[in-house]
Structure 1
Amino acid sequence: MSEPADQLSHRARAMLRAVAEGRGHLASGSEPDLYIDGVPCCDQFTAHLLTHDGLVTGPHGRFGELVPATLTAAGSAALGTAVLAA
Structure 2
Amino acid sequence: MQRSTHSISHRDLRLLRAAADGRVQCSGGVEPDYFVDGIPCCDHLAARALARAGLIRADRPAPGLRVTVHLTPDGRDALAATGALAPTLTAG
TM-score range, shorter chain: 0.7 to 0.9
Q: Which residue is 1:14 aligned to?
A: 14
State the 1:2 CA deviation.
Answer: 7.2
20-29 or 73-82: which moved more? 73-82
CA separation in 2, counterparts of 1:32 and 1:7?
Answer: 23
CA separation in 2, counterparts of 1:2 and 1:23?
Answer: 23
Q: Which residue is 1:50 aligned to?
A: 50
State the 1:3 CA deviation.
Answer: 4.3
Kindly name which structure, 1 or 2, has the bigger radius of gyration based on alpha carbons: 2
Q: Which residue is 2:61 aligned to?
A: 60
Q: Which residue is 1:40 aligned to?
A: 40
Structure 2 unaligned segments of length 5 or more: list them.
Answer: none
Q: Between Structure 1 and Structure 2, how many residues are aligned? A: 83
Q: Secondary structure at the match of 1:54?
A: coil
TM-score (norm 1): 0.84
Q: Secondary structure at the match of 2:25?
A: strand
Q: Which residue is 2:77 aligned to?
A: 77
The RMSD of aligned alpha carbons is 2.0
TM-score (norm 2): 0.79
CA separation in 2, counterparts of 1:6 and 1:28?
Answer: 30
CA separation in 2, counterparts of 1:42 and 1:7?
Answer: 19
Quote the sequence identity (%): 39
